[in-house]
Structure formats: structure tokens, C-alpha cells
Structure 1
Amino acid sequence: MGILSTTTAICQFRVAGDLPAGDLYPWIAEHLARQAFQSIDQGVAEQSVGWVHLDDHRQMSFDIPAAFWRDHYVAFTLRRDQRKLPAALVKAYLQVAEHEYLSAHPGLNRVPKQKREELKEAVRLNLLAKTLPVPSTWDAVWDTRTGIVTFTSLSAPIIELFETQFKKTFEGTRLVAIHPYARAEAVGGEGLKPALEQANLATSDAAIDLIRSNQWLGWDFLLWLLHRTMTDSSEYCVGQPGPALAGEPFVAYLNDRLVLVSAGEAGTQKITVAGPQDHFREARTALAHGKRITESTLYLEKEEHVWKLTLKGELFHFASLKSPKVAIEKGEHVDEGSEREAAFYERMYVLEQGLQLFDSLYGEFLTVRLGAGWGEELARIEGWLAGE
């Protein structure tokens, strides 16, 4: 599901490294063009990876601004075409080729090893020539004001492919994942920085260390929010920059689905609590016995607008993110290009507003979690879990 879809999945990165001073347009255009997608329809290549247009995945030229430039956004799509041959198919055709070879060489009881490899490669190339590549695409939007890149896949191999292709394309840069600790640094600001650094359990600045050593951020955030969902009004105020005005009210709560995990000698145990919840009794029992919430469905509501998403607590990936619908006008007298561009801006507006609400919610949690009153808050949560 692409960035323009009402429901999508996203993860975010910051662009690190050296960027040219001044206007980025010519530099980005040149580098996207160098790594543009190349079709393999007429060959036998097994894979091709490159950039295409966000609006039309068949277009791969970046010589005009309309191809990728949207005000302060750079919008492009990663396309990968693959030819895949089922192992059973290759085996069947190889058996036919071996039979024909032995028929032509009656003095042999079996095909020599080297010849068998040659036959296998010939069979594979012949089948590849008859197989159309299957395309897959994932959208990316780079906000050049903030340096944040939003990418529409949560698959680890695809994220790695995107990071590699981005680094290869924009030499001298790299993508740094916005994981819970990195997001806490951005949201907490200078005011919470000393407390956050003191609470940091990582022994290095490596992203994998910051993620694994600070899983408590995701665990405690979801636990705190579950408690607030059941015992408070679930009302918050906008406290982070974005489209919504500071101080505007919104509602945030967990519902529908929780995933709880515990690790012990018997291995990892996972419990999924699904369906609308009144009291979260099953989840509270699991939490009281030491399990942690690692994933949950989160609702964010502001006026008549609703954002629904599945929050992955370990990495702060946003799965099944459903935002307010953006309508694309169609008709005989509608300029499709202008309408698509307008829809893109509106889509980014509602997406960024949803992320602004999430960051505001996370910021309120961090104020509590890193403050002097966390011990009392935790005692209240534990009392609630115990049914007091």
C-alpha cells in the first residue's frame, strides 16, 4: 500500500551525512536519474532495482521537477522487478534435458557432473527468457525541511534494500532509523535530555544497541497508555510541531488488539488479546504475571478525524495506519496531474498531523516516565493490575 493509500504502513528515518549547500533540486535529480529503474522485460536478468515516479511506476526519468519535486518534499518510489523460477519446475525440465543428453550418448549411464551443471544453467536461462518479471513497489517521501524520510514498508529485507539503494544513490548520506530512543530524543528536547541519557541502557550509539537496550521505552509507553485508557479521560493536548496548533485537544487510547510477550526458560511466549475491550481483564492478568505489551492498536482522534494504527513497540513502526480519507476528484474536465498533486499535499497533511498527535502523546509519556513522579505512577499502575 502506497503513501497515497488511506491505509498504509510506514517507518521513518533521518538523513545523515553531507548534503550540498543551497538548492537540492539539481543534485537530487541527477542522483535519482543515475539510479533510475531499468526494465528487464526483454532479457533474462533475474532482478532489477531502481527509482520510478510516485504517480506512475512505469516512468523512470527525473529530468523535470514534476517527476519528484513537491515543494519541500521529494517523492519517489523504489521498484524491484524479479523473475522467480519454482525449484520443482527447474528440476522437471532438467530431468528432460538429462534424458535427452543420455539418449544422445548411449555409452553413458549418467550425466557427468560438469555437464549436468551446464544443462541446469541452460534450462534456467531458457525458463527465465519465458518468465515475465514481477514488479513490487514501495513509496518514499523525503521532507527536506526536517530531514525525515517516510518509507512504506515494514519488512526487514525491504527496509535493508531501501537503505542500501538510498545510500548508493545519494553518496555521502545514510539513513538512520527513528526508533523509540531516537524519537524520544527528538520529542523530549533539551528539557528531558539529561534524564533520557541517564535512563539510556545502551553502551554505544549503534542503532541496534539503542533499540535492544531500550525496549523499556516501548513497553512502558504501552503499559502507561493502557492504564490511562482504562482509568483516565484519554484527553491530551498537542505539544509537538506540525499542522495542528499547540494546545489543541485530542483523544488517544488503546483498543481492539494487544500482543503481550514474555521470555523465560521455556522460550518466548506470546498472547494476543483481540476484539473490543471493556476492562482488558485478560491483558491485565498477563501483565501482572510479567508479560510485556509489544504491539497494540492505537486510536488518535481530533475533532471528527480519526487515525487508527498498529504500533510496533520495539521499533515504533506504524502498521495498518488508517488516516482520514483523501478524496481524489475525477471527471472529464479534471486535470489529473493537478488533482494528484493536490491529493499528495492533502495526504501528507493528514499523515503528518497523525504523527504530530502521536509525538505529542509520546512526549507526555516521556515527561511522566523520566520525571520524579514515575515511581508513584508505576505504583498506581501495579495497583490497577492487581485489581486494587
Structure 2
Amino acid sequence: MGILSNTVSICQFRVAGDIPSGDLFTWASERLARQGFQSIEGSSAELSVGWVHLDDNRESDFAVPAAFWRDHYLTFTLRRDQRKLPAVLLKAYLQVAEHEHLAANPGLSRVPKQKREELREAVRAALLSRTLPVPTSWDAVWDTRTGLVTFTALSPAIIELFEAQFKKTFEGLRLVAVHPYARGTEVVSDDLLSALEKANQATSEAVLDLIRSNRWLGTDFLLWLLYRTMEESSEYRVRRPGPAGENDPFVAYLNDRLVLQNAGENGVQKITVAGPQDHFSEVRTALRNGKVITEATLYLEREEHVWRLTLKGEMFQFASLKGPAVQIEKDNTVDGASEREAVFFERMHILEEGLQLFDSLYATFLADRLSQGWGSESARIQEWLAGE
């Protein structure tokens, strides 16, 4: 599902490195075109990866602003076409080729190793040329005001492919994942930043270390939110900049689905609790037995608007994020291109408001977690888990 879909899975990155001064359009246009997608139809190539237009994944020419420029956003889509041969098919055709070779060379009792490799490559190339490539694509939006890049995939392999393609395209720049600790440094109040840095359990600035050593941020946040969902007010205030007004009220709570896990002698054990919850009794039992919440369905509500998403606690990735439906009023004076642009801006407004609410919620948690009153809050949570 693309960035324009009402339901989309996203992760975010911050761009590291110096963006050249001067004409940003020309700089980005040349680099995107240089790494534009090249079709492999009519050939036997297995794989092609490159950039295409957000609105049309058949187009890879970035010569005009309409191709990828939306005010302060750069938009581009990563397209991958790949041919795949079933192993059983390759084996069957290779056996036929070997039989034909032995029939043509009656003095041989078996195909020599080198010849067998040649036959394999010939059969593979012939089959690939008769196999249609399967296209897949993932959207990216680069907000040049904030330096944030939003990408519509959560698969580690696809994220790695995107990071590599971005780095190859924009020389001197790289993407750094916005993980819980990184997000914390951006949303926490200035007076608590030193407390967050002190609570950092990583021993280096390496991204992987910051993620793995600070898993407690995700698990503590989800436990705190679960407790507040059941025992305290679910109303919060907007604390971060964005489309919603400062100090506007909103509601946040967990429901429907939670994933818990722990690491024991027999490896990682995971349980999923699904369906509307009244008292989260099963979840509380699992938490008492040493499990932690790693994933949960989160609802964010402001006025009549509702955002629903599955939050992955380790990386703060947002799966199946569904916001208010985009509604654009049409009239006879609006052409297709203008309508698509209007849908894009409305969609980004909705996504950014949902993320603004999430960041405000996370900032509220950090204000509690890093304050001197956390000991009392933690004790109340433990009493609730114990059923006291």
C-alpha cells in the first residue's frame, strides 16, 4: 500500500549529511534520473531496481518538477522488478538438457561438471527470458524542512535496499532510522534531555547499539500506556508542533491486539492477545510472569478524527496506520494532475497530524518516566498488575 492509501505501514528516517546549497531541484532531479528504473522486459535479466514517479511507476524521468516536487516535499518511489524461477522447474528442464546432451554424445555415461554448469546457465537464461518480471514498489517522501524521510515498508530486507539505493543516489547523504531513543531526543523537553541521555544504556553512538540497548523505552512506554488506558484518563494534550493546535486535547489508548514476549532458556516465547479487552487480565498475567509488551494496537482520537495503528515497540515503526479518509471536493475545473496533488497534500496533512499526536503522547510518557515521580508511578503500575 502506497503513501496515498488510507491504510499504510511506514517507518521514518532522518537524513544525515550536508545537502548542497543552491538549486535543490536540479541537484535532486539529476540524481534521481541517474538511478531511474530501467525495464527488464524483453531481456533475461533477473533484477532491476530504481526510482519511478509516485503517481506513475512506469515513468522514471525526473526532468520536470511535477515528476517529484511537491512544495517542500520530494516524492519518489522505489521500484523493483524481479524474475524468480521455481527450483523444481529449473531442475526439470536441466534434466531434459542433460539427456539431450548424452544422446548427442553416446560415448559419455554422464555429463561432465563444466558442461553441466554451462547447460544450467543456458537453461536458466532461456527460462528467464520466458518469465515475466514481477514488479513491486514502495513510496518515499522527503520533507526538506525537517529532514525526515517517510518510507512505506517495514521489511528489514526492503528497508536495507532502500537505504542502499538512497545512499547511492544522493552521494554524501545517508539515512538514520528514527528509533525510540532518537525520537526521544527530538520530543523530550529541554530540561529533561540530560536525564534521557543519562538513562541511555548504549555504550556507543552506533544505531544498532542505541536500538538494542534501549528496548526499555518501547516496553516501558507500552506498559505505561496500557496502565493509563485502564486506570487513568486517556486524555492528553498536543505538545509537539504540527497541524493540530498547541495544547489541543486528544485521546490515546491501547485496544484490540497486543503482542508480548520474553527470552527464556528455550528461546524467545511470544503470545498474542487479540480482540477488544475489558480488563486485560490475560495480558496482566503474562506481564507478571516476566513478559513485556513489544507490539500493540494504538488509537489516537482528536475531535471526530481517529487514527489506528500497530506500534512496533523496538523500532517505533507504524504498521497498518489508518487515518481519516482523504476527501477532496471535485469540480469541473480541476484536472487529474491537480486532483492527485490535492490528494497528496491532504494525505500528508493527515499523516503528519497522526504522528504529531503520537509524538505528543511519547513526550508525555518521557516527562513521567524521566521525572523524580516515576518511582511512585511505577509502584502504582506494579500494584495494578498484581491486582491490588
1:322 is matched with 322
Structure 2 Cα separation of the partners of residues 278 and 184 of structure 1: 31
2:89 is matched with 89
1:348 is matched with 348
2:212 matches 1:212: yes
Structure 2 Cα separation of the partners of residues 84 and 267 of structure 1: 33
1:246 is matched with 246
Structure 2 Cα separation of the partners of residues 353 and 333 of structure 1: 29
Query: Helix, strand or coil for the counterpart of 2:255?
Result: strand
Structure 2 Cα separation of the partners of residues 330 and 337 of structure 1: 12
Structure 2 Cα separation of the partners of residues 305 and 353 of structure 1: 10
Q: Deviations over 1:337-380 (max 9, x none)?
A: 10000000000000000000000000000000011011100000
Structure 1 Cα separation of the partners of residues 248 and 331 of structure 2: 37
Structure 1 Cα separation of the partners of residues 35 and 329 of structure 2: 33
Query: Helix, strand or coil for the counterpart of 1:339?
Result: helix
1:42 is matched with 42
Structure 2 Cα separation of the partners of residues 235 and 171 of structure 1: 45
1:266 is matched with 266
Q: How does 1:278-317 map to 2 (within 5 A)?
A: 278-317=278-317
Structure 2 Cα separation of the partners of residues 333 and 127 of structure 1: 50
Counterpart code for 2:305: H
Structure 1 Cα separation of the partners of residues 23 and 248 of structure 2: 35
Structure 2 Cα separation of the partners of residues 288 and 91 of structure 1: 53
Query: Helix, strand or coil for the counterpart of 2:188?
Result: helix
Structure 2 Cα separation of the partners of residues 232 and 307 of structure 1: 21
2:76 is matched with 76
1:20 is matched with 20
2:158 is matched with 158
Structure 1 Cα separation of the partners of residues 154 and 189 of structure 2: 27
2:197 matches 1:197: yes
Cα distance, 1:144 vs. partner?
Answer: 0.0
Counterpart code for 1:323: G
Structure 1 Cα separation of the partners of residues 23 and 119 of structure 2: 55
Residues 236 and 34 (structure 1 numbering): CA distance in 2 closer, same or farther, change over 3 Å? same
Structure 1 Cα separation of the partners of residues 328 and 238 of structure 2: 29
1:119 is matched with 119
Counterpart code for 1:229: T
Structure 2 Cα separation of the partners of residues 25 and 191 of structure 1: 39
Q: Deviations over 1:141-161 (max 9, x none)?
A: 000000000000000000000
Structure 2 Cα separation of the partners of residues 292 and 23 of structure 1: 49
Structure 2 Cα separation of the partners of residues 350 and 165 of structure 1: 28
Structure 2 Cα separation of the partners of residues 189 and 345 of structure 1: 29
Cα distance, 1:269 vs. partner?
Answer: 1.1
Comparing 61-70 with 326-335, which one deviates more in the overlay?
A: 326-335
Structure 2 Cα separation of the partners of residues 182 and 165 of structure 1: 23
Query: Helix, strand or coil for the counterpart of 1:217?
Result: helix
Query: Helix, strand or coil for the counterpart of 1:201?
Result: coil
Query: Helix, strand or coil for the counterpart of 1:325?
Result: coil
* Structure 2 length-normalised TM: 0.98
Residues 328 and 102 (structure 1 numbering): CA distance in 2 closer, same or farther, change over 3 Å? farther
1:338 is matched with 338
Which ranges of structure 2 fall in alignment gaps of 5 or more residues?
none
Cα distance, 1:329 vs. partner?
Answer: 6.0
* Structure 1 length-normalised TM: 0.98
2:225 matches 1:225: yes
Structure 2 Cα separation of the partners of residues 39 and 8 of structure 1: 26
Cα distance, 1:256 vs. partner?
Answer: 0.2
Cα distance, 1:104 vs. partner?
Answer: 0.6
Query: Helix, strand or coil for the counterpart of 1:233?
Result: coil
The answer to whether the Cα contact below 8 Å between 1:330 and 1:336 also exists between their aligned partners in 2 is no
Cα distance, 1:331 vs. partner?
Answer: 8.1
Structure 2 Cα separation of the partners of residues 64 and 299 of structure 1: 40
Structure 2 Cα separation of the partners of residues 280 and 63 of structure 1: 55
Query: Helix, strand or coil for the counterpart of 1:311?
Result: strand
Comparing 92-101 with 189-198, which one deviates more in the overlay?
A: 189-198
Identity %: 72
Query: Helix, strand or coil for the counterpart of 2:375?
Result: helix
2:275 is matched with 275
Which ranges of structure 1 fall in alignment gaps of 5 or more residues?
none
2:6 matches 1:10: no
2:165 matches 1:176: no
The answer to whether the Cα contact below 8 Å between 1:243 and 1:349 also exists between their aligned partners in 2 is yes
Cα distance, 1:327 vs. partner?
Answer: 3.0
2:143 matches 1:143: yes
Structure 2 Cα separation of the partners of residues 364 and 300 of structure 1: 14
The answer to whether the Cα contact below 8 Å between 1:328 and 1:340 also exists between their aligned partners in 2 is no
Structure 2 Cα separation of the partners of residues 348 and 47 of structure 1: 31
1:376 is matched with 376
Counterpart code for 1:195: A
Structure 2 Cα separation of the partners of residues 169 and 288 of structure 1: 49
2:366 is matched with 366
2:128 is matched with 128
Structure 2 Cα separation of the partners of residues 47 and 53 of structure 1: 19
